[in-house]
Structure 1
């Protein structure tokens, strides 16, 4: 715990220095308005496309439209060997809103050396402080950084960002779900840790079965709530396949059949005329006695 707190303090210190560097621009170069078309998203950009169409984004966009631009500046850094073009450090949603509204975006330009580690840490912290990313978006961001070699392991990533190892493992579990499973949900940003854990457990038992149910669910074209999707994927809504009918014989002659369904119900079907009306009551009594014994 003490080690983790120390890591948190170290991260806060680094981000504090970073913010101080950005504040220096507020005094010397009091931000500038840039053409959104000259700004590209960070390669660590973590917002899913659905995050730019939900209610939170629409409210942000409306606020920016009413104000005539973004009041809170975004942070960018110049792209090397591309004069007049920039990469977003943080502020992807504000940049997108201004772009869609046809407004210039207010930005602070970080000209001092700015490493990928600093950019990634700043973006991660900014997003967690402002509008929480969904587990899928957070996990996708972390997976991209790990695959690119920005951090050598989950543990080192967690330590560098000052977050718990469990948190990193949880969001990666969501991001690492197979595409056929993710496509079963209305949007990836509604998938929670608990959903991914249940699906991952089902994968360990019957991976092919989960993927088969995912394909069936997608073909149905239904847009279910997340909990219902999980239930369908792990097979809780399915009854085991019913057994085939078994021929019922008396004296070597077929008189009907019986079967047990997936829920354990037993059905007996007798051919017409096998049980005369006057014997039906005795047959039912015999069945009742057999059950009681």
Structure 2
């Protein structure tokens, strides 16, 4: 939700010059936990180990603290300028699979009615003079572009590390990135050779959670992830179960079903469920063993589970079954030698 008067500067009341004794000044508020805005505030490391659950920035309390940090730092004198949206490029690493059209339309109407209440964060473009690059605020930028307005922005000189940490932390605090989007963001950062420490700081996760995120993306073909989409209601456990059901044989048929589902207007969550259901259906068991004619031989091999049966054609090769039977010990000994048993 948009915040009004977010960047207003706090002005203390005028001092009372009467003879009454001055009141004792209130103690300053306790420092917020460190969540640097684009690296502008140094991180304060706690000496107490924090578990993966408590380090996650997705809770309501942490979101409120992050918003308060942003308000405080803006109120402490950071300059907000107006820029031409056409001069601003996206971040060099995407954290979203797509911008939801309905949510964007709602944001456009909010900006139309109330103006842009929260500035975006940009840096001077590292490669193109006179242009800028977004650290966060892609949806606000898209909404302002649609309205043909200038965008309110804080401009800071940022390293790549500072940009991705700010981008990730802001999304953790203010937006609802799905699990697979967070996992994709982590994987893209690793593919760009960012250290695990930087990625953990950006996503607010510990080493174990980060490893699971990256392993998940590596296990699912990218075309399947793209066909399903962000699936905002689907968490890590369900994505992991889906990855365990995938194999090279069922991917082409699954991809076709997902493309059909998209054409029919199914939502991303519905497409995920479509994929999960399709992969969960076990192939029908005919109850008959698999059968194969051995090429050029009067023998049929039948397989059922862990058992194999050879059926000899006594009519076309009389006595061949006895011939093979007499040499089974010799064949088995040769088999063991070849296997190194």
Same fold (TM over 0.5): yes
C-alpha displacement of 1:77: 1.0
Note if contact 2:168-2:202 (Cα within 8 Å) is conserved in structure 1. Answer: no
2:122 is aligned, of 50, 57, 76, to 76
Note if contact 1:137-1:175 (Cα within 8 Å) is conserved in structure 2. Answer: no
Aligned residue number for residue 37 of structure 1: 86
The TM-score normalised by the length of structure 2 is 0.56
1:188 correspondence with 2:230: yes
Aligned residue number for residue 146 of structure 1: 190
RMSD: 3.5
1:59 correspondence with 2:103: no
1:165 correspondence with 2:207: yes
Change (3 A) 1:189 1:173: farther
The TM-score normalised by the length of structure 1 is 0.64
How many aligned positions are there?
A: 224
CA distance in 1, matches of 2:159, 2:252: 44
Change (3 A) 1:105 1:164: same
C-alpha displacement of 1:166: 4.0
Between Structure 1 and Structure 2, the one with more helix by share is: 1
Consecutive unaligned residues in structure 2, runs of 5 or more: 1-46, 56-61, 289-341
Change (3 A) 1:220 1:129: closer
1:137 correspondence with 2:181: yes
Note if contact 1:4-1:159 (Cα within 8 Å) is conserved in structure 2. Answer: no
C-alpha displacement of 1:20: 9.6
Note if contact 2:258-2:271 (Cα within 8 Å) is conserved in structure 1. Answer: no
Change (3 A) 1:240 1:164: same
Change (3 A) 1:21 1:145: farther
C-alpha displacement of 1:127: 0.6
CA distance in 2, matches of 1:76, 1:184: 31
Consecutive unaligned residues in structure 1, runs of 5 or more: 245-293
CA distance in 1, matches of 2:216, 2:152: 34
CA distance in 2, matches of 1:4, 1:230: 34
C-alpha displacement of 1:105: 0.5
Give per-residue Cα distances to partners, 1:142-195, cap 9 Å, x unaligned.
1111011111x4x6632675412343244435544213422542x334453233
Aligned residue number for residue 272 of structure 2: 226
CA distance in 1, matches of 2:201, 2:156: 25
Structure 1 window deviating more from structure 2 (162-171 vs 39-48): it is 162-171
Note if contact 1:184-1:217 (Cα within 8 Å) is conserved in structure 2. Answer: no
Change (3 A) 1:189 1:35: farther
Change (3 A) 1:228 1:84: same
CA distance in 2, matches of 1:61, 1:83: 29
SS at match of 1:106: strand
Give per-residue Cα distances to partners, 1:197-247, cap 9 Å, x unaligned.
1122223xxx12331441452465564453232120x2x234425357xxx
1:209 is aligned, of 221, 245, 249, to 249
Give per-residue Cα distances to partners, 1:87-146, cap 9 Å, x unaligned.
1121111111111221111111114xx221111111111111101211222122111110
CA distance in 2, matches of 1:156, 1:80: 20
Note if contact 1:180-1:214 (Cα within 8 Å) is conserved in structure 2. Answer: no
